[in-house]
Structure 1
Amino acid sequence: MTTTVSERPAAGQLPVAGTPAVRRAFLRLLMSEKRRALAAVGLHLVAAVAAAVAPLLLGEMLDELAAGKGTGVVDRLALGLIASIVAVVAFTWLGTFVSHRLGEKLSARMRVEFVDRALRLPMPVVEQAGSGDLMTRSSADVPEAGVLFRDGLPQIIVSVLKVVVFLAAMLWASPVLGLCMLVVAPGLVIGTRWYLKRARDGYLNERQAESGIGDTIGASADGARTTETYRLRAQRDGAGDDTVARHWRAARYTLYLRSVFFPFLDGSYALPTAAVLLVGGALYFDGSITLGTVAACAVLTRQIMFPIDHILMWVEKVQRGFAAMSRIEGVAEAEDTGAAATAELPADGTVDLADVRYAYPSGVRDVLHGVSLSVPAGQRLAVVGPSGAGKSTLARLVSGSDSPREGRATIGGVDVAALPLDERRRRVTLVTQEHHVFTASLRDNLILAKAEATDQELRDALTAVGADWAADLPDGLDTALGGKARELDAASAQQIALARIILADPDVVILDEATAMLDPRAARDTERALGAVLEGRTVIAIAHRLHTAHDADRIAVVEDGRVAELGSHDELIALDGHYAGLWRAWHGEPEGLKAADEDHYAAAGNPV
């Protein structure tokens, strides 16, 4: 079934590109290596011509022998036959070498483009799609499409050239016997049309089912402790069984297609040879054709059917490859789901939220309700409040990770979500509790924030965040981290993330519980160090510990998606409202609390 528009296979999953978009992408990649592609076609064409000459020479040898010609003529034909065989071997080897180089180049280019596109995806798109969908596209679809370029494209080019050349040789030897190849056409056309009509959707469903398995396994692994705590093992097992069952049904359907398609074709392959022998025999006994011509055409039918069989065998893999490319190209379409980019640049680091309302896609109500807030450039704002109040959501809107449903979130007067991704990353940095250490050296993990940073800058950044352990590494900045090399604890990973802030040097820094993984003393020291380093920058800190709020220029207390209080530490203590209750609870002073503060005191162990 041909699809002319992009499709979104399921709610939340990344788009799937339509057939025209996949064809354009395929041709674009192929044209990027046009010279190499033409060289491969030329070499294989010479090999195919040499292969077609061999049976013609063989047929002529039979005719010369039947006519009683001398050995000199036969010897010359035999030498020509040997030369053609040598040419077939030599040019096939060269053509295969160039073709595989072409395939590897195209496969590598496609991989690089996919990674670049994945890194440019808007954060909401990635989160809504889930890790399983993107992971399956990178770990399964990209290699599958790579096979199409590395093996499928060269094999199909070679096979098509052979069919054309061999058929031309048959028609040159005997137009009547050449037309005998038409007997195979009805079966091939009917079987291939039946298969292609169903194959694309079948393989797309199989790929999507694989994504579902990845999502389910990932969720079960991440939530293993929660599953055990709340005795949800039966539900998680059931979810796993359901996703495996969906994949089994999808895989069984594609197996059914292959089981019908290939046996149907196998029964057609002997028809051309039988037709040539029957028609050729009648013409030979009638004296209209020579025995050598019949023999040459019979051999050519077998030579034609081998590449046709090869092409049809690759039809299944091509369908898999194009289904994979549909999902790969869908990632490019997902890049355009955010706000339109603007050429306007922020004037400074001033952050403004104007009547902002926001609801998560899966939610039924707003998380933020008309929040208006202004943070002048260079000011440090602490955001506190109970869990679920909307603090992290507010941070995501300021960083541009999400866009408001209503209202505006701006930096320096420009909608932050409309800033080009590179410019936004240069202007705003969001650091959360979740940090990733790549399987690479410490240097490579740090220069993600500043590619041109010197070793001294890297060391200074580590010192600024209190990462003293880095000085004791056996190979210094070249020490391999992550995986089996050297696994870092959560606190060390968090310090690497904070060091990246210093190297990135953004206008606006958002710290969403960024020191939560550090012990209180280390967190206090790190925050003091960061305070000096971040001087002059706009800082919005989601305060896990209230001493962070105490040090801020202003404090915003978020309650039920609204800013309930706003002011300095002393002003809010004097106000004796929500923040004052949190502060007293933090310091272990429950006596004398007002009744309105009791709920806040209950959450004081985790006020963020």
Structure 2
Amino acid sequence: MTSDSTDKLEPPSRRHALTSLWQLRSYVRPYRFRMLAMFILAAASTVAQLLVPGMIQAVIDGPVKHGNLAGLWLLGLVIALLGIAEGLTVWLRRFIQAKVALSMEADMRTDLYAHMQKLHAGFHDRWQTGQLLARATSDLGSIRRFLAWGLIFGLMSLGIYVAVSVQLMTKHFWLGLVVAASAIPLFIVARNFARNFIVASREVQDQQGEVATIAEQAAQGIRVIKAFGRAPHMQRQFDDEAMKLHDLSVRKLMIASRSWSLFSLIPNATLAVVLVGGSIAVANETLSLGGLAAFVTLQLMLVWPIEALGWIIANGNEAMTAADRVRDVFETEPTIVDRPDAKPVDRSKSRGLVRFENVRFQYEDTPEPVLKGIDLEVRPGETLAIAGVTGSGKTTLVSLVPRLYDLTEGRITIDGTDIRDITIQSLRTVVSTAFEDPTLFSMSVRENLTLGRAEATDDEVNEALSVAQADFVHDLPFGLDTRIGEQGLSLSGGQRQRLALARAVLVKPAVLVLDDPLSALDVHTEELVERALASVLTGTTALIVVHRPSTVALADRVALLADGRIAAVGTHSELLESTPDYAAVLSAESEEVTA
């Protein structure tokens, strides 16, 4: 699969990335009351923290100074109760956070998957699988961590900083002002950190998608890699991309580490100033010893929020760039959708009359149209073969019938109704497709077969298997319940094609589209399948893409496709006699097969 320009976008501006994150706020709404409870609990634990320094001051300036042990026990008990209250609120808040976080991530992943399913085949042709996987896994994880953790901690840290600064200035104005002023260098460091980190974060996330793509392709193509002895080459390719990810990650870490060191240095330097100034104030009796202890305790409460500021900013920036990457997918509008007035059709009443009327089609990334005005009629119950040289647009033409792609101009009708006026779900029960390169899923044979018709009975499944000469499934370890590997690689190419053909036949469609589904079969098996298919195709309209001459035997008529147009239509014998190009196409196809 080729990369698309949308896979590697320029790193977004902070405003654009923040907008992307803001647009995901709808996923927070269902949990807003639980989020509110989290904020209330966070505020309660913060209040409990802020009361402790005052208790410490009361202990030192009261019972300790005057030797009042009874008062010491009482204040100690109050401090212990505050600690217990803080612990309980933190535990409850984090419990709610965890549930909310996972729920929001699950909601986003479900919607993202559903949206990708709605996007046309051209989108998936252009996008790398690894990039989509990265968006559905690591990117959503980054968003979840921020919405449920980084956001809470960020607001808590801001609240603690303001509350502590106010308390510090009430205890000693000038020392409190020094602590509050430390926010200025912190703001400058945070701004520069956020500006640089968002670029580095996007680069790392994009490169993670590249590495995932290579790993996914290597896993799917392991047989080809081994067969051609290209494991060292693929290893070098993977190592190169992995090293790029390593270097970008190190660069991102260096940006973070420089800023985090300053986030640690500034509050500790401020603490040193406070200790010296506070000691002078105690000596001058403008501040009590208990007041200094409370002051330092309060200031120490700022150390963790400030040090965590680096993590919060990093987490926020990763979430923003992740949201921007996820937004790339969400903002891709499905182009193949139901028209407002589209209606379902009754499969049992469909005759299967298919007409192509001045059909034109052009891929998004090609300068010239593939189909340039197709006019063709396939009568009910007729089997029409589509012949043509490689690259003439045969597969494209038949892919338009089930709306895997939408035509550019003209229209296609079934029983006189434009296929765009039929709901997509209904259309794909009327039209069934089997491709030359079959796709099987990592599930049981039965689940693969009934993918298009879940209610099929065992008798119907067995009938479809018999037509496709796929009875070999009964010899598998668990028969129809045998789980086949990813892409069906535990089966031979011919076995996979026969299962895909059985899956298409099982739907019992009015229109059956076959994109050379017999190419991987040996001559003997192909003959058996063709005989069985001939009986099944009686009463079913079929369009068969012909890649080798033997498949023509299934057809009532043949349409020759050349230069994006229908050059000739007739029976096999008629075209052989009247159309030299047809004989040349069959001869070329025959040579390719024997080669």
TM-score, structure 2 normalization: 0.84
Deviation at 1:91, TM superposition (A): 2.4
* Shift in Å, 1:517: 2.1
Residues 165-203 of structure 1, C-alpha deviation per residue, up to 9 Å, x if partnerless?
555654665666544432221122111111222332332
Return the offset for 1:262.
Answer: 2.0
Q: Could you tell me which residue of structure 2 aligns to residue 605 of structure 1?
A: 591
- Mapping for residues 115-264 of structure 1, pairs under 5 Å: 115-148=113-146, 152-153=150-151, 155-156=153-154, 159-160=157-158, 162-163=160-161, 166-167=164-165, 170=168, 177-215=175-213, 247=245, 250-251=248-249, 253-264=251-262
Task: Report the counterpart of residue 91 of structure 2 in structure 1.
Answer: 93
Deviations 1:280-311 (A, max 9, x none): 44544454443222211211111122023223
Residues 124-151 of structure 1: per-residue CA shift (max 9 Å, x gap): 0110223343243345434444444565
Query: Is 1:437 aligned to residue 440 of structure 2?
Result: yes
Between 401-410 and 76-85, the greater mean CA deviation after superposition: 401-410
Looking at structure 1, the residues matched to 485 and 41 of structure 2 have their Cα atoms a distance apart, in angstroms, of 47
Q: Which residue of 2 aligns with 1:54?
A: 52
Cα distance change of structure 1 residues 275 and 443 upon mapping to structure 2, 3 Å threshold = farther
Larger mean CA deviation between 284-293 and 393-402 belongs to 284-293
- Please give the alpha-carbon distance, in whole angstroms, between the structure 2 residues aligned to 1:447 and 1:36: 42
Match of 1:79 among 77, 95, 116: 77
The match for 1:546 is 549
Task: Determine which of 5, 17, 29 is the counterpart of 1:11.
Answer: 5
- What is the CA distance between 1:482 and its match in structure 2? 0.9
| Aligned equivalent of 1:526, options 518, 521, 529 | 529
Residue 310 (structure 1) aligned with residue 304 (structure 2): no
Secondary structure of 2:401's partner?
helix
| 1:353 counterpart = 2:356 | yes
The one-letter code matched in structure 2 to 1:379 is E
Residue of structure 2 equivalent to 1:39: 37
Partner of 1:114: 112
One-letter amino acid of the counterpart of residue 201, structure 1: V
Structure 2 residue 375 is matched with structure 1 residue 375: no
Q: Measure how far apart 1:158 and its partner are.
A: 5.3
Which has the larger displacement, 147-156 or 81-90? 147-156
Cα shift at 1:458: 4.1
How many aligned positions are there?
583
| Shift in alpha-carbon separation, 1:228–1:274, aligned structure 2, 3 A | closer
Q: Retained in 1: the 8 A contact 2:143–2:323?
A: yes
**Identical-residue share of aligned pairs (%):** 26
CA separation of 1:500 and 1:603: change in aligned 2, threshold 3 A: closer
2:581 and 2:488 map into 1 onto residues whose CA distance is 47
1:542 is displaced (CA, Å) by 0.5
Distance (Å, rounded) in 2 between the aligned partners of 1:62 and 1:526 = 94
Q: CA deviation at 1:331?
A: 1.4
The answer on whether the counterparts of 1:480 and 1:486 sit within 8 Å (CA) in structure 2 is: no
Partner of 1:268: 266
After TM superposition, give the deviation of residue 73 of structure 1 in Å: 1.8
Secondary structure of the structure 2 residue equivalent to 1:563: strand
| Residue number in structure 1 paired with 2:452 | 449
Give the direction of change, closer, same or farther, for the CA distance of 1:469–1:239 in structure 2 (3 Å limit).
closer
How far apart in 2 are the matches of 1:174 and 1:412? 88
Instruction: Give the secondary-structure state (helix, strand or coil) at the position aligned to 1:544.
Output: coil
Partner AA of 1:43 in structure 2: L
The structural deviation recorded for 1:64 is: 0.3
| Residues 190, 259 of structure 2: 8 Å contact kept | yes
Q: In structure 1, which of residues 454, 464, 479 is the aligned counterpart of residue 482 of structure 2?
A: 479
52-61 or 178-187, which moves further after superposition? 178-187
SS of corresponding position for 2:451: coil
- Greater shift, 458-467 or 241-250, is seen at 241-250
In structure 2, how many angstroms separate the alpha carbons of the residues matched to 1:507 and 1:322? 49
Aligned residue among 398, 401, 405 for 2:401: 398
Aligned equivalent of 2:317: 319
Distance in 2 between the 1:26 and 1:168 partners? 35
Secondary structure of the residue aligned to 1:511 is strand
TM-superposed deviation, 1:444: 3.1
Partners of 2:240 and 2:42 in 1: how far apart? 48
Out of 492, 495, 498, the position equivalent to 2:495 is 492
Partner deviation per Cα, 1:499-528 (whole Å, 9 max, x = no partner): 332444444332111222222333333344
**Unmatched runs of 5 consecutive residues or more in structure 2:** none
Distance 1:570 1:507, change over 3 A: same
* Amino acid in structure 2 at the alignment position of 1:182: A
Secondary structure at the counterpart of residue 400 of structure 1: coil
Name the residue aligned to 1:568: 571
Cα distance 1:29–1:289, how it changes in 2: closer, same or farther (>3 A)? same
CA distance in 2, matches of 1:602, 1:491: 23
Contact 2:44/2:89 (<8 A) preserved: yes
CA contact 1:556–1:565 (8 Å) conserved in 2: yes
1:368 Cα offset (Å): 2.8
The answer to whether the Cα contact below 8 Å between 2:63 and 2:71 also exists between their aligned partners in 1 is: no
For the 8 Å contact 1:385–1:607, the answer to whether it is kept is no
Residues 563-602 of structure 1: pairs in structure 2 closer than 5 A: 563-575=566-578, 577-579=580-582, 581=583, 597=584, 600-602=586-588
Instruction: Give the gaps of 5 or more residues in structure 1.
Output: 1-8, 582-596
Query: Does the 8 A contact of 2:267 with 2:306 survive in 1?
Result: no
Match of residue 296, structure 1, among 294, 297, 304: 294
Structure 2 counterpart SS, 1:198:
helix
Shift of 1:332: 1.5
CA RMSD of aligned residues (A): 3.9
Aligned partners of 1:454 and 1:14: how far apart in 2? Answer: 47
Distance 1:482 1:240, change over 3 A: closer
Q: Is the 8 A contact 1:359 1:365 kept in 2?
A: yes
In structure 2, the CA distance between the partners of 1:477 and 1:179, relative to structure 1 (3 Å rule), is farther
541-550 vs 229-238, which moves further: 229-238
Q: Please tell me whether the aligned partners of residues 557 and 570 of structure 2 are also in contact (alpha carbons under 8 angstroms).
A: yes
